[in-house]
Amino acid sequence: MKKLILVLLLSFAGLSMNAQDKAVKKSKNKEVIIKASGNCEMCEKRIEKAAFSVRGVKSAEWHVDCQDIHVIIDENKCSKEDVAKAIAAVGHDTDLIKASDDVYEDMHSCCQYERL
């Protein structure tokens, strides 16, 4: 009887640990959308290049009409905030992080969008 109870307890403990491991796993192909300000094709290339510079970004496509970038990331390697930081570092404001004034002013005149 003691052996049966011990086996049942160990089985239950093993199952509960397995369930916890699955809850912690992050997505390898999560799509995130980040608002990113810009005006032209040069902005598109700059924003997408900045996104791809982040380790874990698998796909990045910026839409001028919506002013957003659709990114597929591996959450084990990067986060939405990491991508937003990279985009802001090249002069484009995002909904999460604003670009520094110095970097923004160094951009080509056609790329200087209306800042809020």
Over residues 17-31, mean pLDDT:
69
What pLDDT is recorded for position 107? 94
| Residue 3: pLDDT over 60 | yes
What pLDDT is recorded for position 27? 83
* d(C-alpha 87, C-alpha 23), whole Å: 30
CATH of the domain at 34: 3.30.70.100
**What pTM was computed for the model?**
0.77
- Overall number of domains in the chain: 1
Q: If phi over 0 gives left and psi between -120 and 50 gives alpha, with beta otherwise, what is residue 67? A: left
pLDDT band of residue 37 (cuts 50, 70, 90) is: very high
- Please tell me which residue, 57 or 27, carries the higher pLDDT value: 57
- Please tell me which residue, 45 or 6, carries the higher pLDDT value: 45
Q: Does residue 14 belong to any structural domain of this protein?
A: no
* d(C-alpha 67, C-alpha 36), whole Å: 6
Q: Does residue 20 belong to any structural domain of this protein?
A: no
Q: Does residue 11 belong to any structural domain of this protein?
A: no
pLDDT digits (tens, 9 = 90+) for 82-113: 999 999 999 999 999 999 999 999 999 999 99
* d(C-alpha 79, C-alpha 9), whole Å: 38
